[in-house]
Amino acid sequence: MIVFDLACACGCRFEGWFRDHGQMQSQRERGLLLCPACGGAAVHKILSPVAVKTGQRRRLRAEEDGAQVTREDARHGQAALKIISEISAYVEANFENVGPRLAEETLKMCCGDKKMRNIRGEASPEEESLLKGKGINLLKVPILKKEKEEPPQ
Ligand SMILES: [Zn+2]
């Protein structure tokens, strides 16, 4: 998932979560990207501070879109990173890491084989849609930690 900071002609600023950059572009081109404040479609991206992918961090450079990086945008990006690192730390401290067995463990819990508990880990897009089909939505949170963690055996 990628978070984009968006701005509307009315002066409103908001955040949009997209699968990737292309999805944001196509939604915008088709006029589906609407401002939450005025409902207008005169929305443009102001900066891509952080790109989020399960289990890893990647920073998008603003130059990719030829966007101008202003000092305010940079502050905005840093504030976003701070929030993300807090979420990341919370999840790491309070959720058991099951690594690539996320989908498996989730299914065990929801089918009653295992007690419900907080878990985190990685799921492939296929596993994610499998879970979705069963009415389970994964919450994706950015994890800033760089080193790869080994799941417990
Ligand atoms: Zn607006």
The domain ranges of the chain are: 2-83
> Could you report the per-residue pLDDT of 129-150, keeping only the tens digit for each?
888 888 777 777 766 655 555 5
Q: Quick check: 98 and 120 in contact, CB under 8 A?
A: yes
Distance (angstroms) between ligand 1 centre and the Cα of 12 equals 5
Task: Mark the residues whose beta carbon lies below 5 A from ion ligand 1.
Answer: 8, 10, 12, 35, 37-38, 40
Q: What is the mean pLDDT of residues 49-63?
A: 46
- Report pLDDT for 70: 59
Distance (angstroms) between ligand 1 centre and the Cα of 116 equals 42
Distance (angstroms) between ligand 1 centre and the Cα of 8 equals 5
Distance (angstroms) between ligand 1 centre and the Cα of 30 equals 17
Predicted confidence band of residue 10 (pLDDT cuts 50, 70, 90): very high
Distance (angstroms) between ligand 1 centre and the Cα of 27 equals 16
H helices of the chain, where?
Answer: 21-29, 71-94, 102-110, 125-133
Distance (angstroms) between ligand 1 centre and the Cα of 31 equals 13
Q: Quick check: 96 and 117 in contact, CB under 8 A?
A: yes
Q: What is the mean pLDDT of residues 24-49?
A: 86
Q: Apex CA 1: angle with CA 47 and CA 24, to 5°?
A: 55
Instruction: Look at phi and psi of residue 145 and say left if phi exceeds 0, alpha if psi is from -120 to 50, else beta.
Output: beta
Distance (angstroms) between ligand 1 centre and the Cα of 68 equals 21
